[in-house]
Amino acid sequence: MNPPTLSLWNHVWLRAVGKTIRLLGPMFLICLPLSGQTPTGRILGNVRDQTGAALRGATVIITDVQRGVSRTLITDDTGAYVAPDLDPGIYKVRAEAKGFKTIERVNIELEVAKDALIDLALPPGEASETITVTEEIPLLNTTSSVLGGTLSNKEINDLPLNGRNYENLLQLRPGVMRYPGGGFSTTSTNGLRAEDNAYIIDGLFNSEPFSGQSIINGAGIAGDSATILPVDSIQEFNLQENPSAEYGWKPGAIVNVGLKSGTNSLHGTAYAFGRDTPFDARNYFNTVASGPKNPRDLEQFGGTAGGPLIRGKLF
């Protein structure tokens, strides 16, 4: 028997490559539309002088305080700047221009899927002089008509969540309810169908295509969640009703969950939550005469840890 020729090996190799492309190609096509749904935010604004005139070519430095990462921008002809795809956290914004004093805004809190509008007015003077302004919480969001809000990890952990399931947070918002007698898969927003909601975790689409319910934390056969995303792993929970056009493929609520990431400092948490039958009250029908209490045991424990792999670069 003659050994395989080079042309035969090339033919087999090309067929294998072709099959791989046909299998993996649709996966890349599916992922492309999701590039905009990342668990990030934007800082944008305008740099002007004291008369209100736009400052073209001003240098704007945006620094992530927790990670020590900076991004440098140059304002355009209208004095505007935009810094997209920023991780949620605490930032400071510094603006410099020749012939003007330096302005620095600190303690700017950026949330998941939110914009922070930071306008800066530079007074004339030496660039070596720096004016520091402490950021204040705005009373009204003037950059977006989206309804909803964001909950931080501390707020989530402080709230009494039945089953430690983050999907219970949806019902804290106006217009969100479950069908009578329904579970997590029947959450309706402003009268829309439950499958009209979209669930996103760290930028990845997390909705089951047929029913529209969340895949992670999705209901199992008995109705309870088959999988649980640990609440302690969530950095921010963001719910958008009346979402913007980038989520136009779903008319209901957009549930955007951002997971924790590392910073330049070592940090971690540990938790333990328990629910035991002896400490549970009987319901109306489960009287002493009817027999023992219905069993209700739930034990959840775990921890998180984070820090830099390469300080200031990789976390």
Q: Both 130 and 164 in a single domain?
A: no
Q: Both 162 and 185 in a single domain?
A: yes
Q: Both 222 and 255 in a single domain?
A: yes
Q: Both 89 and 112 in a single domain?
A: yes
**Strand bridging mode 147-152 / 176-178:** unpaired
120-171 pLDDT tens trace: 999 998 867 777 777 665 555 666 666 777 888 888 888 877 777 888 888 8
Q: Classify each residue of 222-252 as buried b or exposed e, where b means 16 or more C-beta atoms within 10 Å of its C-beta.
A: eeebeeebebbebbbbbbbbebeeebeebeb
Q: Kindly state the average pLDDT of the residues 179-194.
A: 78
Domain assignment of residue 163, yes or no = yes
pTM of the model: 0.62
212-233 pLDDT tens trace: 778 887 766 555 566 778 888 8
Q: Determine the 3-state secondary structure of 271 from DSSP.
A: strand
pLDDT for 66: 85
**Phi and psi for 126 in degrees, rounded to 5?**
-80, 140
Domain assignment of residue 162, yes or no = yes
Cα–Cα distance, 239 to 247 (Å, whole number): 12
Comparing CA positions, the residue from 267, 256, 257, 258 lying closest to residue 315 is 267
77-127 pLDDT tens trace: 999 999 998 988 899 999 999 999 999 999 998 888 788 899 999 999 886
Q: Both 151 and 68 in a single domain?
A: no
- Residue 160's domain spans which residues? 147-261
Cα–Cα distance, 254 to 207 (Å, whole number): 11
Element (H, E) at 7: helix 6-31
**CA 228 centroid distance within chain:** 17
Instruction: Compute the Cα dihedral for 238, 244, 250, 253 and give only its sign.
Output: positive
- Is the pLDDT assigned to residue 194 strictly greater than 60? yes
Total domains present in the chain: 2
Q: Both 127 and 185 in a single domain?
A: no
pLDDT for 62: 96
Q: Determine the 3-state secondary structure of 133 from DSSP.
A: strand
Q: Both 204 and 129 in a single domain?
A: no
Domain assignment of residue 174, yes or no = yes
- Is the pLDDT assigned to residue 36 strictly greater than 50? no
Domain assignment of residue 195, yes or no = yes
Cα–Cα distance, 263 to 67 (Å, whole number): 5
Here the CATH number for the domain that contains residue 68 is 2.60.40.1120
Residue 33 banded pLDDT, cuts 50, 70, 90: very low
Most confident residue range from 20-29, 60-69, 217-226, 303-312: 60-69
Q: Both 130 and 154 in a single domain?
A: no
Here the CATH number for the domain that contains residue 185 is 2.170.130.10
Which of 134, 164, 195 delimits the end of a domain?
A: 134
Q: Both 169 and 245 in a single domain?
A: yes
Q: Kindly state the tokens that stand for 80.
A: 């505007």
Q: Determine the 3-state secondary structure of 121 from DSSP.
A: strand
Strand order in the sheet with 234-241: 147-152, 234-241, 254-259, 198-201, 204-205
Cα–Cα distance, 188 to 146 (Å, whole number): 17
Domain assignment of residue 188, yes or no = yes
**CA 51 centroid distance within chain:** 38
Q: Both 162 and 124 in a single domain?
A: no
Domain assignment of residue 173, yes or no = yes
Q: Both 168 and 207 in a single domain?
A: yes
Which of 89, 106, 134 delimits the end of a domain?
A: 134
Whether 2 and 8 have beta carbons less than 8 Å apart is answered as no
DSSP letters of 187-223? Answer: EEETT--GGG-EEEETTEE-B-TTT--BSTT-B-TTS
pLDDT for 17: 58
Whether 109 and 152 have beta carbons less than 8 Å apart is answered as no
Cα–Cα distance, 96 to 102 (Å, whole number): 5
Which of 106, 134, 162 delimits the end of a domain?
A: 134
